């Protein structure tokens, strides 16, 4: 169990580092900026308690906000994502439930399951994040455009990470 906690703590810092150093310097067309730090919430163990998940999401978002000098947008969006995660997991749960000791990964539940699970969470994260950033109802189509584009790019990168980084 300690090994799982240690692995998650290391993943927490690595994802923040990679997001800040690499992915925040990628701007494609002014509207696409991949956010892969949400992978931390996506890969959290099934057994994590609600308060632990929300607290982890808060500190993850806070770390990103502090390093990007943003006024709490990432914190709010990441906490929302963590709040929605149990509902999304419940809606895609296998008939017998999730296996003890397994994690939400392609390795355990397949590409189709992981793609649906992660894309839905990423979509809600991005929709809330861009709604807070732009914060004008007159720009609803820009919010939706940025949400869809960034969800597709971030989702693709997160799914690819399952094959190249998190094989098991």
pLDDT at position 87 is 94
C-alpha span between 154 and 64 (Å, rounded): 16
Name residue, tokens 């067309």: 29
Strands (E), 24-151: none
Tell whether the model's pLDDT for residue 27 goes beyond 60.
yes
Q: Where are the domains of the chain?
A: 2-84+98-164
C-alpha span between 40 and 57 (Å, rounded): 8
Higher pLDDT, 84 or 96: 84
**Mean per-residue pLDDT of the chain:** 90
State the Rg of the chain over Cα: 15
Torsion of Cα atoms, 48 then 54 then 55 then 59, to 10°: 120
pLDDT at position 168 is 57
Contacts of residue 71, defined as CB under 8 A and 6 or more positions apart, other chains included, come to 65
Name residue, tokens 């906690």: 5
What is the percent of the chain with per-residue pLDDT over 90, rounded to a whole number? 66
Strands (E), the chain: none
What average pLDDT does range 117-130 have in this prediction?
Answer: 97
What is the CATH class of 2-84+98-164? mainly alpha
């Amino acid at each position: 169990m300690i090994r799982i906690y240690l692995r998650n703590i290391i993943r927490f810092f690595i994802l923040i580092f990679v997001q800040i150093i690499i992915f925040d310097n990628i701007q494609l067309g002014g509207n696409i900026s991949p956010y892969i730090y949400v992978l931390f919430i996506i890969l959290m163990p099934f057994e994590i308690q609600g308060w632990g998940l929300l607290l982890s999401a808060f500190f993850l978002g806070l770390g990103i906000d502090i390093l990007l000098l943003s006024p709490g947008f990432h914190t709010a969006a990441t906490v929302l994502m963590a709040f929605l995660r149990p509902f999304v997991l419940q809606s895609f749960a296998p008939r017998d439930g999730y296996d003890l000791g397994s994690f939400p990964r392609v390795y355990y539940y397949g590409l189709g399951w992981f793609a649906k699970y992660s894309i839905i969470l990423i979509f809600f994260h991005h929709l809330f994040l861009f709604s807070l950033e732009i914060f004008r109802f007159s720009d609803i189509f820009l919010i939706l455009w940025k949400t869809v584009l960034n969800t597709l790019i971030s989702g693709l990168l997160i799914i690819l990470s399952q094959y190249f980084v998190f094989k098991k």
